[in-house]
Amino acid sequence: MRLTTTNVTRRSAITMLGGAAMLGLAACGSTSGGSSSAGSDAATTESASSDQLEPTSGMDFVVGFDQEYPPYGYVGDDGEYTGFDLDLAQRVCEIQGWNYQPNPIDWDAKDGELNGGSITCIWNGFTVEGRENDYTFSDPYMLNAQVIVVKADSGIKSFGDLAGKTVITQADSAALEVLQGDQADLAATFASLDTRADYNTAFMELESGAVDAVACDLSIAAYQLAQKPDTYVQLDDELSSEHYAVGFKKGNTDLAKAVTDTLKQMDSDGEVEKLCEKYSDQGISYSNWCLGK
């Protein structure tokens, strides 16, 4: 079972107890370094020597993603990690000869994971706009929009109807960024703007009537509408439009370029279009693909 990505080796368990007994952060540091073989390939240690990752054949390519973020990354019917972005990542790794490792993360911890080196990239419907200075991005490959979803019987038709309503979105998400930035005036008309840890919880609250609207990505909205077409409607107005790209730790330009080039190649081979069709019922459309067009 792939979900439990963390296998405890005997050695790392012993090291851990030793570290615990020493009680110091320094101890934790050395144990972390020392147990690199736990749950991963030994190749990780090579990349640990420098901040700058060079694309090399056989290297570990650890994809950090939110496992509750369909259709980009989620648990498939067979229990394996799947999704549009993960399929793209896996294929890129195959072409490059990298060791593909999907690694679910807590979204709030993504920067630490990336900077610390436990993941190679964030590839998960990751919006570029507003984050340009924080990451080294691949070229944008997908167009996206931030939209508002309400219940079908709510009577809310436009942004104007949202005055005095309760709106929620995901913590640390692009939708939140827009609502606190360019669309702050709109947000000011809401009764409240709250955040949830994941969109699934947000939509459960919407369905149960606890809140009036959810602000989210176009694709998230499409996925939820596809699951429960009679329950939700998406407002025609868009909060913003934006681009998705693969995010790397700042400075990893060679790696970002390698991914960009491979994606372009996959598009010209027709692989991307096929993949979009595979996820079309979940809101992915090839018309939104923007790389190399």
Partner 1 sequence: MTIQTMLSMLFGGFQTSLAIFALTLVGALPLGVLVALARQSRIKPLAWLMRIYISIMRGTPLMLQMFAIYFAPYYVFGIQLNPGSKWTAVVVAFIINYAAYFAEIYRSGIQSIPRGQYEAAEVLGYTGSQTFVRIVLPQVVKRILPAMGNEVITLIKDTSLAFSIGVAEMFSTARAIVASQVTMLPFLFAAGIYWVSNFVIESLLAALEHRLDYYHE
Residues near partner 1, by CB under 8 A: 1, 3-6, 8, 12-13, 15-17, 19-21, 23, 25-26, 28-33, 35-40, 44-45, 47-49, 51, 60, 62, 67-70, 74-79, 101, 103-106, 108-109, 112-113, 115-119, 198-200, 227-228
Residue (119 or 222) nearer to partner 1, CB: 119
User: 202: burial class by Cβ within 10 Å (0-12, 13-18, 19+)?
Assistant: buried
Nearest distance from C-beta of residue 272 to partner 1, angstroms: 22
Distance CA 6, CA 17 (A): 17
CA pair distance 125, 238, nearest whole angstrom: 17
Least Å distance, CB 194 to partner 1, is: 19
For the chain, give the number of residues: 293
Shortest distance in whole angstroms from residue 281 CB to partner 1 = 13
Task: Give me the least distance between CB of 78 and partner 1, in Å please.
Answer: 6
Task: Specify the residue, 99 or 166, whose C-beta has the smaller distance to partner 1.
Answer: 99
3-state secondary structure of 186: helix
Contact 173, 216 (CB under 8 A): yes
Nearer to partner 1, 243 or 249 (CB): 249
Quote the least distance from Cβ 84 to partner 1, whole Å: 13
In the bound state with partner 1, the residue whose beta carbon lies nearer, of 184 and 204, is 204
| Count of CB atoms situated within 10 Å of the CB of 174 | 26
Q: Are the CB atoms for 187 and 215 separated by under 8 Å?
A: no
Closest to partner 1 by CB, 61 or 289: 61
Q: Which residues pair with 194 in a beta bridge?
A: 168
* Nearby residues of 273 by Cβ (< 8 Å), 6 or more positions away: 267, 286, 289
